[in-house]
Chains A and B, each alone.
Chain A
Amino acid sequence: MAKVRLLYFASLREATGQDVEVVDSAAPDLATLYAEAAARHALAWPRERLRVAVDGAFAQWDDALRDGSEVAFIPPVSGG
């Protein structure tokens, strides 16, 4: 099990109703971690449309969870 902080932004924050969620997860990778969050909050975003970041840097979906890390699922950006 790994304890991670999930960060939600923009429409993901509104869909989950929170900007931070601390979870204990046995997910082997970040893709599974997102699947768990998507099921828990009935998120409409397919993982293919999102990116994932760990501790403030972009990561890969097949990366393993690191205990104590901060994970953010990044919906398509709209700055500029």
Chain B
Amino acid sequence: MTAHAAGTIVARFELADARFEVEPLRAQLLRDAAGAYASFEGWVRDHNDGRPVLGLRYEAYAALASAEGRRIVEEAVARFAITGVHCVHRTGDLAIGDLAVWVGVSAAHRGAAFDACRFVIDEVKSRVAIWKHERYADGDLQWLHPEPAAAGSTDEPRGEGAR
């Protein structure tokens, strides 16, 4: 048989303080039992909220972020029929077009691969202790502290600490 026969289910979450290659990580998710692979790549875009963005920095509370990230990929294994899941999130300074976050999922069938991939990126965005600091073309800087989706509060202190 092949090197990818059966084996335990991969469930990994990592922070990376430098650029990383996706292909070797993807290769580690291959299994003979996997008929599907789905991935998500989050890239740094050149605008946010209508403002031109020059670049950004991600700051993490590494101990907490790593622990919560591991919890999320383990939840994905428990909830979906997948054979492997891996998420890597950048920290530090990033330029436009840089890869900020990658999620890869392998599964027997595409439905579980897509669903688990979506689950992981959504949960990472809402639960993992990482903050984005954006640098704008007009010279302004800002930490992003988004409102929870369900909250209706208007006293948004999201620009606190800016400038």
Contacts and interface: CB of A to CB of B under 8 A. Distances in A.
A74 B89 CA distance: 18
Given A56-B67, A78-B131, A15 B161 contact: yes
Contacts of B129: 9, 53, 72, 74, 77
Interface residues of B, number: 36
B143 A77 contact: no
Contacts, number: 91
A76 B64 contact: no
A44 B143 CA distance: 14
Interface of B: 42, 58-61, 63-65, 67-68, 89, 100-101, 121, 124-133, 143-148, 153, 155, 157, 160-162
29 contacts: A9-B59, A9-B61, A9-B129, A10-B133, A10-B143, A11-B162, A15-B161, A44-B157, A45-B160, A53-B64, A56-B63, A58-B64, A58-B68, A72-B129, A77-B126, A77-B127, A77-B131, A78-B131, A78-B132, A78-B143, A78-B144, A79-B65, A79-B124, A79-B128, A79-B131, A79-B132, A80-B42, A80-B100, A80-B124
